[in-house]
Amino acid sequence: MILLRSALFNALFFTLTALACILGLALLPFPRRVLRRFIQGWARLILWLLKVVCGIGLRVTGRENLPDGPVVIAAKHQSAYDTVVWLALLPEPVYVLKQELLKIPAWGRLARHYGSVAVDRKGGASALKRMVRQAAAALAEGDQIIIFPEGTRTLPGQRVPYQPGVVALAAASPAPVVPAATDSGLHWGRGRLRRQAARRHHRGDPAAAAGRPRPRRPDRPAGGGDRDRDRPAGAPRWRPGGAAAPCG
């Protein structure tokens, strides 16, 4: 039954995503906010289908620690779920993504018009500076930046080196940096067909948890001395306001 429900969700997900890309192209002549509201509607529909078809809902803890206005969210990244959920949670979410994604037909054009911040992971210091400038411009317009400090998806509990992007962005922008944890990888794993409801201490919903705003400038490189596997970045004094977990 789980495999059948997962297969149904996957079929709906890819079909609706392809349809959203086609319809989104018709919105390119309109102001950016029109496309953003459309994409956010797609994200909410995907999350609703995930709950109805697979029994995976959304539970958020620590949301009171998210400040209003521009903010940098340094989020854990365990599955494709994390690339959808923030679109539904924030008023003006903007993801930092790898530049290769902009080469995807239709999707890349939509991502550019949406205002996504692309980074060339092989571009060195110049690419990092360009990413910081783009993200700072988005923050100046009141957007919320979502960046994955590890730069890639990881397994639940896996520890990999943090990339310098979040540190550079924190140093260059006055916006607060908020760490966020998730355990979406337990229920929408990388390369796995199954979309399975959680069987951990949270019940009924998956969770993305927001932490307390971090001081503007990190006092040392991200990831150093971090004892909590679910914390996304930075100095030991970053204390998340809640734990995150998708649950069913």
Instruction: Give every CB contact of residue 140 below 8 A, 6+ residues apart in sequence.
Output: 70
Helix (H, G, I), strand (E, B) or coil at 135: helix
Instruction: Give every CB contact of residue 221 below 8 A, 6+ residues apart in sequence.
Output: 162, 164, 167
What pTM does this model have?
Answer: 0.76
Q: Tens digit of pLDDT for each residue in 138-171? A: 999 999 999 998 887 777 777 888 888 888 888 8
Instruction: Report H helices in the chain.
Output: 2-25, 32-54, 82-89, 107-114, 124-140, 165-172
Q: Tens digit of pLDDT for each residue in 97-119? A: 999 999 999 999 999 999 999 98
Say how far apart CA 40 and CA 125 lie, in whole Å: 32
Give me the residues of the chain with pLDDT under 50, please.
193-195, 197-248
Instruction: Give every CB contact of residue 173 below 8 A, 6+ residues apart in sequence.
Output: 72, 132, 135, 136, 139, 216
Which of these, 129, 3, 8, 154, lies nearest to 76 by C-alpha position?
Answer: 154
How many Cβ atoms sit within 10 Å of the Cβ of residue 154?
18
**Tokens 């999350």 belong to which residue?**
47
pLDDT of residue 216: 45
pLDDT of residue 191: 52
Cβ–Cβ < 8 Å for 207, 183 = yes
Say how far apart CA 15 and CA 17 lie, in whole Å: 5
